[in-house]
Amino acid sequence: MAWRGVHIAQPSRLSLADGQIVVAQEDGEARLPIEDLAWLVIDTPQATLSTALIAACMDSGVVVVTTDRTHLPSGMILPFHRHHRQADIAALQAAISAPLKKRLWQAVVQAKIGNQAAMLAVCGQDPQPLRAMLRLVGSGDPDNVEARAARHYWGRLFDGFVRENGADKRNMLLNYGYAVARSAVARALVAVGLLPAFGVNHASSTNAFNLADDLIEPFRPFVDRLVWQMTENGRVRDGEPTVEDRRALAAVLLEKARFGPETVNLLVASERAAESLVRAMEGGSAALLLLPLMDG
């Protein structure tokens, strides 16, 4: 069972040998069984991957994340759909009704706002205003409570913070972490036979990952928590993310979440959320959708 990730930030040659990923660098060589790997982040322009390794990653369901010249994740490589009921699941997804889509989106938004409230509690802020907003989220969120909650949340999570300010280190860290989490959600959706391009709320014709962008929303506050911790309780806003910062964010999928009666990491939570989304589609009930929750 895949349970770990690899972050490559130094010049490396990556290849396959005996079912293992081989990472060769100047100071030596490391090996890891492909079957243990869930995600691989290539965070350097000085890395080469053999086609045999890429094929093995696709066969094993490993998502490969690439970064641009600023070290921000810019793309991902996913396997073609490999689920044994691929056509059935795709047909089910295409046929779900508009009311069910709206109820699913309602559940996603409620889980996101609930996790944002828990995050505010973690950082010593009053969570009650956000918890009160949960009751205002209707089917499809027609009143855009999600946006109202976001304005309240960001204004209290980080001091002097503007989400659109790309020069703020906190935004750089958030974007990196969100990209890693998004890759895990996309991987989980593909693994259960869903088509990531067809969302329940996001519907951009140019976005190949609309469904991933729907399902990731409750995962975002877990990234926020890690960034808050990394920036001295949200106070550090200057500078560029270091290699250590990026490595820590590449490991965000190991953050803990409550999932039903259990505590699991976000990687497992993404897999279970995707599985429950299929059950919700099959049962025609948003109540069957299970999402990660943050204690706070």
The structural domains of the chain, ordered by start, are: 4-77 (3.100.10.20), 86-288 (1.20.120.920)
What pLDDT, on the 0 to 100 scale, is given for residue 237?
A: 92
**Residue position matching structure tokens 């304005």:** 151
Q: What is the DSSP letter of 201?
A: S
CB contact set of 173 (below 8 Å; sequence gap of 6+) = 227, 230, 231, 241, 245, 249
| Alpha-carbon gap, residue 172 to 121, rounded angstroms | 24
Tell me the H-state helices in the chain: 51-60, 86-95, 98-122, 128-134, 145-157, 169-191, 210-215, 220-230, 243-250, 266-283
Sign of CA dihedral 43, 48, 51, 57: negative
**pLDDT bucket at 296, cuts 50 / 70 / 90:** confident
CB contact set of 135 (below 8 Å; sequence gap of 6+) = none
What pLDDT, on the 0 to 100 scale, is given for residue 82?
A: 64
Beta strands 47-49 and 37-42 are unpaired
| Alpha-carbon gap, residue 253 to 169, rounded angstroms | 21
Task: Confirm if 255 and 266 have CB atoms less than 8 A apart.
Answer: yes
pLDDT mean across residues, the chain: 94
What is the CB-side half-sphere exposure of residue 12 using CA atoms within 13 A?
21
Segment 202-220 mean pLDDT: 95
Question: pLDDT tens-digit profile of 122-173?
Answer: 999 999 999 999 999 999 999 999 999 999 999 999 989 999 899 999 999 9
What pLDDT, on the 0 to 100 scale, is given for residue 3?
A: 82
| Alpha-carbon gap, residue 83 to 193, rounded angstroms | 5
Question: pLDDT tens-digit profile of 161-199?
Answer: 999 899 999 999 999 999 999 999 999 999 999 999 999
Question: pLDDT tens-digit profile of 264-284?
Answer: 999 999 999 999 999 999 999
Question: pLDDT tens-digit profile of 86-99?
Answer: 788 989 999 999 99
Question: pLDDT tens-digit profile of 32-88?
Answer: 999 999 999 999 999 999 999 999 999 998 999 999 998 989 999 988 766 667 788
Rg over CA atoms, the chain:
19
In terms of pLDDT, which residue wins out, 48 or 295?
48
What is the CB-side half-sphere exposure of residue 52 using CA atoms within 13 A?
10
Task: Confirm if 189 and 180 have CB atoms less than 8 A apart.
Answer: no
| Alpha-carbon gap, residue 189 to 133, rounded angstroms | 29
CA-to-CA separations, 220 to 70, 113, 131, 188, 291, in angstroms, rounded: 22, 10, 17, 16, 12
Tell me, rounded to whole angstroms, the distance of Cα 181 from its chain centroid.
2
